[in-house]
Amino acid sequence: QVYLVESGGGVVQPGRSLRLSCAASGFTFSKYGMHWVRQAPGKGLEWVSVMWSDGSNEYYADSVKGRFIISRDNSKSTLYLQMNNLRAEDTAVYYCARDIANTVFGVGWIDPWGQGTLVTVSS
Amino acid sequence: EIVLTQSPATLSLSPGERATLSCRASQSVNSYLAWYQQKPGQAPRLLIYDASKRATGIPARFSGSGSGTDFTLTISSLEPEDFAVYYCQHRSKWPSFTFGPGTKVDIK
């Protein structure tokens, strides 16, 4: 059984930073690309970032480029999202999710997903 | 940037009825389209990828079709657990991914 457990969410002031973690288990973490996807309260899904299985490449949505940094520690089966210069519009549930293909760069289809962690940016 | 449009925004049906959901892309995405289901308070789950391939463990009542710019998710006979929000997603502009705004299927 695959498990993805996010942590690190909370309330943060605009302009501050927050680091999310995603602990993975039940599969060989180092073989899969990993994504972050977010969902603002009552809104739809927004893809945020992906990192290839070996950590060699990372990509971001334009809305977070230059502010967020994705990383992973394959020895700890953990994915991270460093969020800097946070804005009110970054308020959302952040989901960690796995690519369905066990290749270096994946195929872009996302499953399974963690239960998410809520980030609220407010003064 | 490719924009996905989903229709209708809400679909009100009864259990046992057939549901037909539409996703339209602003330009061709070939067959690089997926469908996800999200129930209230839960994470999304993948139903269909590459336009028509069912993900692992997804019941046969779910089917996907289409290519280019027009796609359809069909639920042949709605079960009580199928009332949820459905999103389409494309990956044609690798490695950029976009979701549609969603269609809510609720009980009539």
Smallest Cβ–Cβ distance between A45 and the set B32, B87, B95 belongs to B87
Q: What confidence tier does B92 reach under pLDDT thresholds 50, 70, 90?
A: low
For B81, which DSSP code? G
Please answer yes or no on whether B95 and A50 come within 8 Å at the CB atom: yes
A109, B95: Cβ pair inside 8 Å?
A: no
With 80 as the cut, is the pLDDT of residue B95 above it?
A: no
User: What pLDDT does A103 receive?
Assistant: 83
Window 61-80 of B, Cβ < 8 Å to A: none
B 4-23: CB under 8 A from A: none
Q: Phi/psi of residue B92, each to 5°?
A: -75, -25
Per-residue confidence in pLDDT tens, chain A, 123 aa: 999 999 999 999 999 999 999 999 999 999 999 999 999 999 999 999 999 999 999 999 999 999 999 999 999 999 999 999 999 999 999 999 999 988 888 888 999 999 999 999 999
CA–CA distances in Å: residue B70 to residues A11, A46, B25, B66, B104: 41, 21, 7, 6, 19
B46–A50 CB contact, under 8 Å: no
The reply to whether residue B43 touches residue A100, judged by beta carbons under 8 angstroms, is no
CB-based burial, B2-39: b 16+ in 10 Å, e otherwise = bebebeeeebebeeeeebebbbbbeeebebbbbbbbbe
| Whole-angstrom distance, CA of residue B48 vs CA of residue B52 | 6
Contact yes or no for B101/B8 (Cβ under 8 A): no
What is residue B14's predicted lDDT score, i.e. its pLDDT?
97
Judged by a CB distance cut-off of 8 A, whether residue B43 touches chain A is yes
Give tens-digit pLDDT for B28-64: 999 999 999 999 999 999 999 999 999 999 999 999 9
By the 8 A CB rule, do A74 and A80 touch? no
Write the pLDDT tens digit of every residue in B12-22.
999 999 999 99
Q: For chains A and B, what is the number of CB pairs under 8 angstroms?
A: 66
- Residue B86: predicted pLDDT: 98
**CB-based contacts of A67, cutoff 8 Å, min separation 6:** A83, A84, A85, A86
